[in-house]
Amino acid sequence: MDEYISAHTDHHGVTTIEFYHPQSNSLPGKMLENLAQEIHHAGINTDTRLIILRSAGDKAFCAGASFEELAAISTAEQGKLFFSGFARVINAMRTCGKLIIGRIHGKCVGGGVGLAAAMDYAIAHESAEVKLSELAIGIGPFVVGPVIERKTGNAAFSHLAIDAGMWRSADWAKRKGLFAEVHSQHDNMDEAIARLAGMLANSNPDALAEMKKVFWQGTDHWDQLLAERAAISGRLVVSKFTKEAIAKFKLKR
């Protein structure tokens, strides 16, 4: 099955945005651009009362940015553009006027953890382990850092960022505030999402919009902040150390 991003709004006003990529739901730059656009469009669509963000398949929720594109970067400016992809998606989720429920059915790596953190309410399966692997290839989780730190606190974020090779369980993620709920069965997870979506779709949309503003208070500077963070990663990714680390990683794949 080829990569895709789809959006569908049901008669209750629930817009489901789904993405898929055959490489563990990793997200190339073009898909990140399209995903940001779909979130923005749903946010301004008067027919949409609520957004559910999910990925397809039965394995990883999101393996982060495309490794093939990462390996092909040759200049710092290309690097900044590459790392700006998740910045655009996070900022689209942040400024979207509708609440976003996340369906986290599997593992989250790197930018995938950032997506989960940017959800207003994430409902996960117990297999949804999380890992920030950036330091292992010579960079760091600079772009996704602010949204993860906002959700989990500095201590939990630093633990993820420093021990880049260690998976943390879905229960750990729930205890740190990344996930709101964790379920042992996919059916139970989907039932919980349907229940919450039904309740929110029948709630006062003005109240939900005002709640969203409150939840994201203090992040108005993120357009600039995440661009600055993307520039840091862009410089690091073309360094000799990182290029060698990426080459070694590719040999292991």
Structural domain spans, the chain? 4-188
- pLDDT, mean of residues 17-36: 97
Q: How far is 49 from 208, CA to CA, in rounded Å?
A: 9
Q: Span 4-188: which CATH code?
A: 3.90.226.10
Q: Quick one: residue 50, left, alpha or beta (phi over 0 = left, psi -120 to 50 = alpha)?
A: beta
| pLDDT band at residue 246 using 50, 70 and 90 as cut-offs | confident
Query: What pTM was estimated for this model as a whole?
Result: 0.96
Question: What pLDDT sits at residue 247?
Answer: 85
Residues 243 and 71: their CA atoms lie apart, in Å, by 8
- Which pLDDT score, from 0 to 100, does residue 13 have? 97
pLDDT in tens, 80-98: 999 999 999 999 999 999 9
Average pLDDT over residues 23-27: 96
What is residue 121's predicted lDDT score, i.e. its pLDDT? 98
Q: Look at residue 130 and tell me whether its pLDDT is greater than 70.
A: yes
Tokens of 224: 């600039």
Q: Cβ(125)–Cβ(104) under 8 Å?
A: yes
Mean pLDDT of 155-182: 98
Position with higher pLDDT, 30 vs 253: 30
Q: pLDDT value at position 67?
A: 87
Residues with Cβ within 8 Å of 46's Cβ and at least 6 positions away in sequence, in order, are: none
Residue 19: per-residue pLDDT: 98
Give every CB contact of residue 236 below 8 A, 6+ residues apart in sequence. Answer: 79, 138, 139, 140, 242
Name the DSSP letter for residue 106: S
The proportion of the chain whose per-residue pLDDT surpasses 70, expressed as a percent, equals: 100
Q: What is the mean pLDDT of the chain?
A: 96
Q: Is the pLDDT of residue 253 over 80?
A: no
